[in-house]
Structure 1
Amino acid sequence: MKKGLIFLLQLIFLLLISTLGYKISEFFHLPIPGNVIGMILLLLLLLSKAIKLEWVDLAGGFLIKHLAFFFIPIAVGLMNMGGLLAHYGFSLAVVILGSFVTGILLSSWTTQLLVKKGVKQHEHFRDNL
């Protein structure tokens, strides 16, 4: 019962941040979607330690775990766009593949950079003991 209440409060908190992102986007007429602004707000709050990860961890973990279900409406909507996909399908495939490759490359380079930095810090720490 207690865990369910904590989950519900965390979910409400995440929804409030998302709603705030939508309101900011709408108020300032920004070309950035409100949900993206909400995620940036959440990141800034977590990085600044204004909120603790434990305050959103349970609900956030649940949402990430079930992320695939959020794509079902999109997939069903695409079924109605057969003609559009037939006309622009190749272009979309190229863009999606390019984005995928770029994301994988940037992720791997960032990971390698952080690992090298971590190794250097570890060696520096070990040498100063």
Structure 2
Amino acid sequence: MTVLKYLNVIWQISLIYGITRLGSWLQTFFHVPLAGSIVGLILFYVLLQLKIVRVSWVKDGANFLLATMVFFFVPSVIGVMDVITKIDMNFIIFFALVAIGTILVALTSGIVAEKMTMGKVFDKGPHRHI
């Protein structure tokens, strides 16, 4: 990967982060009863749909974030290991449910990402939808 490619990915991640921060600011300013990151995601989606932000502007940065997503879950696992000796049966059931929920979210995200990258969402033509 060339230096220009790295700078492009950094720029794209910065754009994604900036839109997310703008969503957090809008949530705080307008007292929206949603998390700021969710408002940022909705804003990002609207900007993509209105073609204000083009997919090509954020594609490489988004792919990098998707490829490294597993590293964002490591701190929570390490936090659980710190309190493993204090866990009783209720916590074991709780953590089993969390693990199952995480697996379901990962599978769903993977299926959606696979369908999007296979061209089923981005097909050309006026009447092509999922």
Coarse TM-score class (shorter-chain normalised):
0.5 to 0.7
Residue aligning to 2:123: none
What is the RMSD computed on CA atoms of the aligned residues? 3.2
Q: How does 1:77-116 map to 2 (within 5 A)?
A: 77-82=79-84, 83=86, 86-94=89-97, 97=100, 100=104
Q: Return closer, same or farther for 1:96/1:31 CA change in 2, 3 Å cut-off.
A: farther
Residue aligning to 1:47: 49
Residue aligning to 2:124: none
Q: Return closer, same or farther for 1:76/1:95 CA change in 2, 3 Å cut-off.
A: closer
Q: Return closer, same or farther for 1:96/1:30 CA change in 2, 3 Å cut-off.
A: farther
What's the offset of the Cα at 1:70? 0.6
**Deviation larger for 25-34 or 6-15:** 25-34
**Deviation larger for 20-29 or 52-61:** 20-29
Letter in 1 for 2:92: G
Letter in 1 for 2:49: L
Q: Which runs of 5+ in 2 are unaligned?
A: 121-126
Q: Return closer, same or farther for 1:22/1:84 CA change in 2, 3 Å cut-off.
A: farther
What's the offset of the Cα at 1:21? 1.6
Number of residue-to-residue matches in the alignment: 109
Q: Which runs of 5+ in 1 are unaligned?
A: 116-120, 123-129
C-alpha distance in structure 1 between counterparts of 2:34 and 2:70, whole Å: 23
- The TM-score normalised by the length of structure 1 is 0.65
* Other structure's SS at 1:56 match: helix
What's the offset of the Cα at 1:23? 1.2
C-alpha distance in structure 2 between counterparts of 1:22 and 1:55, whole Å: 21
What's the offset of the Cα at 1:87? 2.9
Residue aligning to 1:22: 24
Which protein is bigger by CA-based radius of gyration? 1
C-alpha distance in structure 2 between counterparts of 1:79 and 1:86, whole Å: 16
